[in-house]
Amino acid sequence: TTISETLEPRQLTRLMQFVLTPLTRAIHEQRGTVDKYIGDAIMAFWGAPLPDPDHARHATHAALAMRARLEALAPELAAQGWPALRIRIGVNSGLMSVGNMGSEFRMAYTVLGDAVNLAARLESAAKQYRVSLVLSETTRAAVPELACRELDRVRVKGRAQPVTLFEPLGPVAALTDALREELALHEQALVAYRAGDWELAAARFEALQIQQPERALYTLYLERIAWLRVHSPAAWDGVFTLAEK
């Protein structure tokens, strides 16, 4: 919305085509089906119209490729006088209905179901955690070769069943020793947080924040812990309810 306000309609159209083309190509290369474009957003799914038993892995690698390609476009965006762009992607795997949906007046080949709605919530949640990619626990289980940072266990808006969120970081074999140590401390901090040990959790997240001051995730947890210390629920189960879509 902010970028649209600064561009003439023709410029905005050119920008969208310039960006959406390589992102769509990344989806197609990983056997994805583009459902629709929603302004500057792309909705895509895997496993239809042709079966794909490796759908979760293909979707995840498409998301990683989309992020990389957008980063690679930065110099050309700057050369054209266009603003820098960021991307948020939510990936979920599950059962859904696929086929021609709609009304008596218009039909579209698309997907419907709780698993689809959750993917949309994950994309939105990425903004709160200041990350570009969020995988659900079902998708994460399908890509064990990728290292992931566990972001949170939450109830998303409009959905009672909790879900664990992950940020993919790249191949496990490519992790640096420093990142391995950071992830280990992060896991320990989450254990204390979910146990309701606010003092230990805060100490561990503060240590992480000192190591990685640019990582907004640790600041988010410290702010949340400060709030929970005052408003701790009677039956804390380690699951946080996200109030925003």
Q: Which residues of the chain have pLDDT under 70?
A: none
**Which of 117, 47, 199, 49 has its CA nearest to residue 125?**
117
DSSP E strands: which ranges in 8-106? 33-38, 41-45, 89-91, 97-102
Read off the pLDDT of residues 168-191 as tens digits, 9 standing for 90 and up.
999 999 999 999 999 999 999 999
Q: What is the pLDDT of residue 221?
A: 97
Residue recorded with tokens 């919305």: 1
Cβ pair 136, 161 in contact under 8 A: no
Q: What is the pLDDT of residue 5?
A: 87
| Cα four-point dihedral sign 15, 21, 22, 23 | positive
Tokens describing residue 155: 């109830």
Q: What is the pLDDT of residue 3?
A: 85
Quote the Cα angle for 145-194-196, to 5°. 160
Read off the pLDDT of residues 210-230 as tens digits, 9 standing for 90 and up.
999 999 999 999 999 999 999
Q: What is the pLDDT of residue 233?
A: 75
Rg, Å, the chain Cα set: 20
